Structure 1
Amino acid sequence: MSSDENVSVYDEEHSSRFMRKAKESPFVPIGMAGFCAVVAYGLYKLKSRGDTKMSVHLIHMRVGAQSFVVGAMTLGVIYSMYNEYLAPKNQDKNSK
């Protein structure tokens, strides 16, 4: 590896690194966005929680956000398993 290649690896910006990682595993940003959405909704509804205790409201927010992340991770694992084991393989490489 030349020094120019090392420099290009370390100069990768955070946004381009995030985009590369998002293309490799698309369910990670979906899980992060869902987590942020559930937390934002919970904070929005914080004032109108009624007689519900603060601790119960926070537990419900945590469970909702955690469920979204675990669901996104599960879908990601199923998607990667499908691509690895069940998706039709490209037969062009074998025929040549």
Structure 2
Amino acid sequence: MAQSTPPPFDPSHPPLIEGFTPSTYQHPEEGFREKFLRKSRENPLVPIGCLGTAGALIYGLICFNRGNTRQSQMMMRARIIAQGFTVAALMVGVVVTAMKPQK
């Protein structure tokens, strides 16, 4: 009598990870607007970086369309700096959240 082996992945059941207890979602009736505002309050530098990135991109494209290539290049460099700022803000937010004591 051959013993059947369990399938490697059963999508109907989450995997069991030793030492990990899943937590429940804390904000069940939270819509997009409420979640956006809560996340913005938790880490306000990310939306600022996103707005800076979008602003530099849009202004750079406008300068490119007008034929002002020097200003367009400057704005594309500013966009890359703003993107780096945004990524750094995200990473700092992740570290701060990970170090925050659980309630």
Unpaired runs of 5+ residues, structure 1, are 85-96
Give the fraction of aligned pairs with identical amino acids, expressed as a percent.
25
- 1:50-73, Cα deviation, whole Å (9 max, x unpaired): 5x5xxxx5x765432120132355
Greater C-alpha Rg: 2
Q: TM-score by structure 2 length?
A: 0.49
- The one of 36, 41, 48 equivalent to 1:18 is 36
Unpaired runs of 5+ residues, structure 2, are 1-23
Name the residue aligned to 1:67: 81
For the aligned residue pairs, the C-alpha RMSD in angstroms reads: 3.4
- The one of 57, 64, 74 equivalent to 1:46 is 64
C-alpha distance in 1 between matches for 2:80 and 2:39: 21
Measure how far apart 1:74 and its partner are: 4.4
Count of paired positions: 70
Which structure's relative contact order is higher, taking Cα pairs within 8 Å and 6+ residues apart?
1
C-alpha distance in 2 between matches for 1:25 and 1:42: 27
